[in-house]
Homo-oligomer: A and B are copies of this chain.
Amino acid sequence: MRIDEIGRQPCPVAGAMAQIGDAWSWLILREALYGRRRFSDFVRHTGAQRTVVSARLKKLVGAGILRRVEYSQHPTRHHYLLTDKGRALAPVMLALAEWGSRWPADSDRGARSVEFTHSCGHPVDATVVCGGCQQPLRAGDVTPSFGTAGRPAAMFNPEGSPENQGNHGPRASL
């Protein structure tokens, strides 16, 4: 399977990554969430090549995460605005940033460029909780169950025997 085919996997993680793309897309979305709209600002503040930014913007627009909007007619100028779908990535981005702050690379000098403050006045300290009990989610407390839509043999297990197909439900646990 090629990386541009992972969206065929009936998995919400694969579906999300297939729509968002690579790390450059995440940095472009970071800048969009910071209020950036213009191509030149995305190039400047992500550090990506212009061709890379152009391709990622096209992908994000195609996925309905950004909208390309004309803001000037003479001369014609466009900028990129987050859709509701794109703005819905803010909590994911904050959870990812929380992990990145808590678990830096060994080479990281600990420099943090950004602190997030919530409208309540507290630091964000993004926490992912269960919508049912509001308790923080931890690996080990979550059990996945796999439906019939999951993991068709043709996609994941061409040479596998039937009992191997999609067979990691029972003992699987996050």
Binding site for B on A (CB under 8 A): 1, 3, 5-7, 9-19, 21-24, 26-27, 30, 33-36, 41, 44-45, 47-48, 63-64, 82, 85, 87-109, 111-147, 149-151, 155-157, 160, 164, 166, 168, 171-174
Selected contact of A95 from candidates B26, B101, B116, B128, CB within 8 Å: B128
Is the Cβ of B131 less than 8 Å from the Cβ of A35?
no
Q: How far is the CB of A83 from chain B (nearest CB, A)?
A: 9
Is the Cβ of B131 less than 8 Å from the Cβ of A126?
yes
Is the Cβ of A118 less than 8 Å from the Cβ of B105?
no
Selected contact of A18 from candidates B23, B41, B130, CB within 8 Å: B23
Selected contact of A113 from candidates B10, B34, B47, B116, CB within 8 Å: B10
- Inside 8 A of A6's CB, which chain B residues have their CB? 23-24, 27, 47
Q: Kindly state the separation between the CA atoms of A5 and B63 in the bound complex, as whole angstroms.
A: 26
The contact sample of 25 A-B pairs, CB cut-off 8 A, is A11-B100, A12-B97, A14-B23, A16-B99, A19-B103, A33-B174, A35-B173, A44-B156, A44-B160, A45-B168, A63-B105, A85-B103, A87-B139, A88-B103, A91-B99, A92-B99, A94-B128, A94-B174, A95-B95, A95-B128, A119-B142, A120-B132, A127-B128, A128-B128, A128-B129
In the complex where A118-B141, A124-B137, A144-B34 touch, is A100 in contact with B22 (Cβ < 8 A)? no
